[in-house]
Every structure is written in C-alpha cells, then in structure tokens.
Amino acid sequence: MKPISIIGVLLIVAGVAGLVLGEVSFTKRETVVQLGDAKIEAESKDTFPIPPIAGIAAAVAGVVLVVVGYRKR
C-alpha cells in the first residue's frame, strides 16, 4: 500500500470518528498556589466541538487520496 493511500485511510477514519463523536473532551490541571513543597491544583474539564463539516471534509479528502493512490499503480 502506498503512503498516500495510508494517509487517505487515516483521514477517512478520523473523519468518521469526528462525525460519530462530535466533540473531544480533555482535562487540564494547573497549579493555583504553590508555597514551598505544598501546592494547590485546580482541575478543569474542557470540551472542543468538532464541526460536522470538518468530519465530512476529512472523509472526502481521504477517499480522494485513496483513489489517487490506487490509480498511480
């Protein structure tokens, strides 16, 4: 399998995952106060929405790359 086809397959998988999940959540820790060895940390959960058009665009670009990789044989 050519590298361009592999990238295409990865884009297809990422596009479908973006459409299915719809958002990515992550937890961020930050030190609020630090006095010597003692510190107080705050934890916040952030969410990043993935627009459906981004998932569709990634999947379409992946299909195009797979087709181009297949035709260059």
SS3 content of the chain, % helix, strand, coil (to 5): 55, 35, 10
pLDDT, tens digit, 9 for 90 and up, residues 36-53: 889 999 999 999 999 999
Give residue 70's pLDDT band: very low, low, confident or very high (50, 70, 90): confident
Q: Does 73 have pLDDT greater than 70? A: no
Residues in a beta bridge with 47: 25
Cα(11)–Cα(27) distance, integer angstroms: 25
Q: Which domain holds residue 63?
A: 3-71
Domains contained in the chain, number? 1
Over 90: is that where the pLDDT of 19 sits?
yes
Structure confidence at residue 2 (pLDDT)? 87
pTM of the model: 0.71
Taking residues 50-60, report their average pLDDT.
95
